[in-house]
Amino acid sequence: MSAMTHPGDAAGEVSGPLIGADRLAARIGDGTVLFDASVGAHRGAGVRIPGARPFDLDGELSDHTSAVPHTMPDARRFTEALRALGVHDTDTVVVYDAQGVYSSARAWWMLRAMGFDRVAVLDGGLPAWIAAGHPVQRSPAAYDGPPGTFTARPRQGLIVDADTVAAALADPAAAVLDARSAGRYAGTAPEPRPGLRGGHMPGAAGLPFGELQRDGGAMRPAHELRTAFEAAAEGRERLYFSCGSGVTACVLALGATLAGYDDLAVYDGSWSEWGLPGDRPVVTGDARVQNGG
C-alpha cells in the first residue's frame, strides 16, 4: 500500500487504512467523500453520518450477473457507479458501516483493487461515531449532486477466483484464511445461504473476523493483529482470504494491512461459490481455527 499523509495535511489525504471518529468529525465539510457501505437490514436504516453517500454493495456495486452474491463489478461498471456518486480521482474517501467494521472493509478493498488508495475505514463504524457524541442525520444515505470523474484502474491479484485459491492451498508459501465463524468453518453450524455444503477448504485455516476486533467493533492494535495472523498463517506472508460472500474476508485484508502484510488477496466468490455442490473439496472439523487473544 502506498504511503499516505496525516489526515490534517494540506494534501487532504488520509494517513492509513483507518481513521478515528474524532478525526473524521474534523474533516466533515472539507471535501472528504463519505460513504455508508452498510448491507442487509442495516442498509438504508435511516441513520447516517451527515453527508454520507450510499456505497450499495447489495445494489449497483455488485455484479448481479454472477451466480453468487457481492461479486466485484467490472472496471466499466465500477467507474460508472463511482462517477454517479460524484467521486473524482483526486478525492479522499472514508467508508463506514452500521455494524462497526464489517462491510466497510469490503468497500475499502474494492476501491484499492480498482487502483484508488486515498481511502480509509472509520474505525468502529457508525456505533463509534455515535458513542463519541457526533451528530447523525435521520435519513438514508443519498447523493443527488453532479457526476465525478473517477476512473477505475484495476490492480491484478487483489481479487482472485477459485482456481487461484486452489493453487494457493497447494502452495507451501501461501496461507488461505477463512473469516467465517468457527462453527461454519467446522461445518457444525448451518450456512445462512441455502444449498451450500458445510465445512471448509482443505488446508485453509480459520480466523473469524471478529477475533481481529475489540468489543464495539474497532480493530485491535497492530501488534495484536500481527500475532493473530502469524499464528493462523503459521508464519507465511502470502495471504488469501475467504468468507461467506467476499465481505468479511476484507476485514481480514484490512487487519493484515494494519499488521504490516502487503501480499494479500481476497477470494471473491468465497464460500458462496466454493461451498456449492460440485467437485471443489470440502472437509469438516475444527483443526487450525485460530482463537484471538
Model confidence at 293, pLDDT cuts 50, 70, 90, reads very low
Q: Is the pLDDT of residue 126 over 50?
A: yes
Catalytic option among 18, 243, 256, 289: 243
**What value does the mean pLDDT take over residues 200-227?**
96
| pLDDT tens digits along 54-112 | 999 999 999 989 888 899 999 999 999 999 999 999 999 999 999 999 999 999 999 99
**What value does the mean pLDDT take over residues 15-44?**
89
Q: Is the pLDDT of residue 202 over 50?
A: yes
The single-letter code of the amino acid at 116 is: F
Please, what is the average pLDDT of the chain?
Answer: 92
Give pTM, 2 decimals.
0.93
pLDDT for res 289: 55
Domains along the chain? 18-131 (3.40.250.10), 159-274 (3.40.250.10)
pLDDT for res 44: 59
Q: Is-catalytic flag, 243? A: yes
Rounded Cα distance, 9 and 47, in Å: 30
Residue-wise DSSP of 27-93: HTTTT-EEEE---GGGTT-S-B-TTPEE--TTTTTS-TTSSSTTPPPPHHHHHHHHHHTT--TT--E
Question: What percent of the chain is predicted at pLDDT more than 90?
Answer: 84
